[in-house]
Amino acid sequence: MSKRAFRKITTYVLLFAGLFSLLLIGVQRFLSPPWNSIGSLVLVIGALATAAYLLDMMVPGVNIFSYAPHRLPQSGNRVVLTFDDGPVEPFTRQILDILERYGVPAVFFCIGENVERFPQVAKEIVMRGHELANHTQSHRVLPFLPAEKVEREIRGGANACKKASGVRPVFFRCPKGYKTRRVLKLAKKLGQQAIGFSYPIFDVENPLPETLIHNVLHRVKGGDILLMHDGFRKEKPASRDSLVAALPKIIEGVRGRGLEFVRLSDALAETLAEENRRH
């Protein structure tokens, strides 16, 4: 776990622990025995359930109530590259050029609004042999939205991808990776297979290329689904030039560790087929 992810999770845990302590003190102060003991027990159970819910929603790889694959099954030496928040000019095309030069497949989880701004780039993703996937229409955090708005976000992103490329996306990723059972059930109803990620490489703030190279190569292993960002929301313009500069070294370094880049659909084909048979 990176220091940044650790700090984020620790902050939530400490905040939750503080609120829980205040509630427990309140129970002990205002309720008489035996109700204070019963009230404390209820609070403890509620606190544990809430903590599990938050971890399931926010932490990659925690699938207590909801499941989105964050690693490849029977991983071996395979890894998958995924890019979120595009397409945008010029960064998505620059990344496509690098992937073509190295013969690497990838999945692009695109925001519908960006697809509508750059439809030709979205089409080019498919034409160059990559997988175009859905990252909602406007990148809103789905667990905090009512069901009808969640459906609108998921359907809007899928429709934008289909209109631009002629191919309706199969894969879907929740913005920020924040998921719940309710959100994933709605996605499945709309024909979208939710996909998580093993860990982010923390490229959003455009750190030095050397930092991004280190963030990948010091932990990458077979089965990883790597999260990178080729784009951004139009309301928050940013640069992805560090990732563009780092990507060749990342690819070379990953291959130097004996790992192979594969298409997500190929890696998950057997798992998804088995899941469909069960349901």
Question: Which residues are marked as active site?
Answer: 84, 229
CA of residue 237 relative to chain centroid, distance: 20
- Mapping DSSP to helix (H, G, I), strand (E, B) and coil, where does residue 224 land? strand
How many Å apart are CA 129 and CA 263, to the nearest integer?
10
| Structure-token pair, residue 211 | 């930092």
Q: Is the dihedral of CA 154, 156, 159, 163 positive or negative?
A: negative
Given a contact cutoff of 8 angstroms between Cβ atoms, the answer to whether 56 and 63 are in contact is yes
Rg, Å, the chain Cα set: 21
- Mapping DSSP to helix (H, G, I), strand (E, B) and coil, where does residue 278 land? helix
CB-based contacts of 48, cutoff 8 Å, min separation 6: none
Q: Cα dist. 147→134, 142, 162, 200 in Å?
A: 18, 9, 23, 27
Q: Strand 106-110 relative to strand 199-200: parallel, antiparallel, unpaired?
A: unpaired
How many Å apart are CA 104 and CA 130, to the nearest integer?
9
| Structure-token pair, residue 96 | 């496509």
